[in-house]
């Protein structure tokens, strides 16, 4: 079976199950309040981490390095923020795991190392064409 179709079916089923279980323990109003609180706190923290990631990316660019980790991390933070917007406890948990820097490094470490190996092959030369111009030539640059 297609993985995307399976995900589309299973995620709402898991979320509904968790809504029922948690709602029966803490009440309907508290469950709804908890959903909104996790979404608001998660989006604020995702914004904070995104700005830190952007600052780190600019530091890498100033050092003339490719900000490979920052590119992957920025996409992960955006996906984590999307998961936090979707109501549900399972998606919120996964979103928070993606947004926290330590767990994000553990999750995306292999992908980052693979990307770093591809971009680390730098050339120490610049290709181009040139033409010798004598000082007495009438040509101007």
Confidence band (pLDDT; 50, 70, 90) for 124? low
Decide which of 120 and 100 is more confident: 100
Confidence of residue 121 (pLDDT cuts 50, 70, 90): low
pLDDT digits (tens, 9 = 90+) for 12-69: 999 999 999 999 999 999 999 999 999 999 999 999 999 999 999 999 899 888 888 8
b/e code 46-56 from CB counts within 10 Å (16+ = b): beebbeebeee
pLDDT attached to residue 68: 80
pTM: 0.72
Of residues 105 and 89, more confidence is placed in: 89
How does DSSP classify residue 135?
T
Most distant pair of Cα atoms in the chain: their distance: 92
């Amino acid at each position: 079976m297609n993985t995307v179709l399976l995900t589309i079916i299973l995620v709402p089923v898991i979320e509904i199950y968790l809504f029922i279980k948690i709602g029966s323990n803490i009440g309907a109003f508290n469950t709804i309040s908890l959903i909104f609180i996790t979404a608001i706190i998660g989006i604020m923290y995702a914004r904070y981490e995104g700005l830190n990631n952007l600052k780190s990316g600019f530091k890498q660019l100033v050092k003339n390095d490719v900000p490979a980790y920052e590119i992957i991390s920025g996409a992960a933070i955006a996906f984590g923020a999307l998961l936090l917007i979707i109501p549900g406890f399972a998606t919120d948990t996964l979103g928070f795991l993606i947004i926290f820097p330590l767990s994000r490094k553990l999750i995306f470490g292999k992908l980052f190392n693979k990307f770093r190996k591809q971009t680390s092959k730098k050339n120490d030369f610049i290709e181009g064409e040139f033409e010798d111009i004598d000082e007495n030539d009438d040509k101007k640059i």
